Structure 1
Amino acid sequence: MSIYNKINAGFSLGTDEPITSGIEDVIYIFNADDIVLTYDTTNPLIVKGLTAVSNAKVYKFEGTNNSFNTTSKLAKTQVGPRYTEEIDFNIAGLSVEVKAQLMAMGYGRVRAIAVNNYKSSDSAIELFGAVNGLILTDAERNAADESLDGGYKLKLTNPDKMKEPYPPRAVSIAPTSGTATYASTIAAIEALVVTA
């Protein structure tokens, strides 16, 4: 009997490019049905294109002092491995516009792109919620919390009973001519970002 997937490579920890923890103080969030994902035909773990539907946009959230974090956890299920994906971040504000965005993220599905501090990898930029999307599951505000100046602590994660079939996808987008690089991928994402 053959198993569904088989390992096909090994790896070792390198001393030339030691891994670095954390993500940059920026995440890109978009409505799940606003951007069409194009996957690499030979590797479903790579997103090689993002296409806006009807001029939809990507929204850029910026923070400071390591205020964003991502988590991916393996969960064994009866049909195989699934992954719970989470993104924690803070919002320094409590306007009605902020509250409207929180409500939208709680009811609608979004996807999010995070940029790892560790750049020496083909997964320097990762997409969370590729298949089932993410929803806002935690939005906590303590008015006396001095670390956030009374802002919100937020958590985006998969909807109940809808874990992801793959770990976070690598995002690697090539320019119109040439091969994909970190710079070309960031440029492609930024081209879809809403400008004020």
Structure 2
Amino acid sequence: MSIYNKITAGFSLSAAEPVTSGIEDVIYIFNADDIALTYDTNNPLVITDLTATSSAKVYKFEGTNNSFNATSKLAKTQVGPRYTEEIDFNIAGLSVAVKAQLRAMGYGRVKAIVINNYKSGDSAIELFGAVNGLVLTDAERNAADETVEGGYKLKLTNPDKLREPYPPRALAIAHESGPVTYASTLAALEALAV
């Protein structure tokens, strides 16, 4: 009996480029239907292009002092592995505009891109919610919370019963006239950001 997938390589930790925890204090978020994803034909874990619709916008959320976090958790199901993806971040504000964005993230689906502090691998930039999107599941504001100065603590995660079939996808976008690099991927992302 053959198994569905087979491992094809090993790996070892590098002393020259040790793994670094955490993500940068920036998250790119966009409406799930606004950007089409192009996958590598040989590897479904790699996204090679982001194509925006005419009205699409990628919104950039910036924080400080390691205030953002991303998590991917494996869940074994009867039909195979699934992944719960979560992004925690803070918003230092409580204007009507902020509240409108929170409401939109709670009802609509978004996708989010994070930049890992570890830049030596081919997954330095990752997309969360590639298949099923993410929704805002927690938006907590404690006016007396000095850690976020009375702002909101937010959590984006998969909608109920809709985990992702793969771990977060790697973004690897080539420049028009060159190879795929961390810089070319970041430049393509920044070109879409508002």
Q: TM-score range by the shorter chain?
A: over 0.9
Partner of 2:168: 168
**Scaled by the length of structure 2, what TM-score is found?**
0.99
Indicate the percent of aligned positions where both proteins have the same amino acid. Answer: 82
Paired residue type of 1:129: G
Measured in 2, the distance between the counterparts of 1:113 and 1:180 equals 17
Alignment of 1:38-187 (within 5 A): 38-187=38-187
Measured in 2, the distance between the counterparts of 1:173 and 1:2 equals 34
Partner of 1:30: 30
Q: Which runs of 4+ in 1 moved over 3 A?
A: none
Paired residue type of 2:106: G
Structure 1: runs of 5 or more not aligned: none
Superposition RMSD on alpha carbons, in Å? 0.5
Paired residue type of 2:169: R
* SS of alignment partner, residue 43 of structure 2: coil
Paired residue type of 2:176: T
Measured in 1, the distance between the counterparts of 2:124 and 2:147 equals 29
Paired residue type of 1:155: K
* SS of alignment partner, residue 191 of structure 1: helix
Paired residue type of 2:142: N
* SS of alignment partner, residue 90 of structure 2: strand
Paired residue type of 1:107: Y
Measured in 2, the distance between the counterparts of 1:55 and 1:108 equals 16
Alignment of 1:180-195 (within 5 A): 180-194=180-194
Measured in 1, the distance between the counterparts of 2:55 and 2:104 equals 19
* SS of alignment partner, residue 127 of structure 2: strand
Paired residue type of 1:150: G
Number of aligned residue pairs: give it: 194
Measured in 2, the distance between the counterparts of 1:50 and 1:191 equals 11
Measured in 2, the distance between the counterparts of 1:74 and 1:187 equals 31
Measured in 2, the distance between the counterparts of 1:177 and 1:46 equals 20
Paired residue type of 2:44: P
Displacement of 1:178? 1.6
Displacement of 1:55? 3.5
Paired residue type of 2:63: G
* SS of alignment partner, residue 100 of structure 1: helix
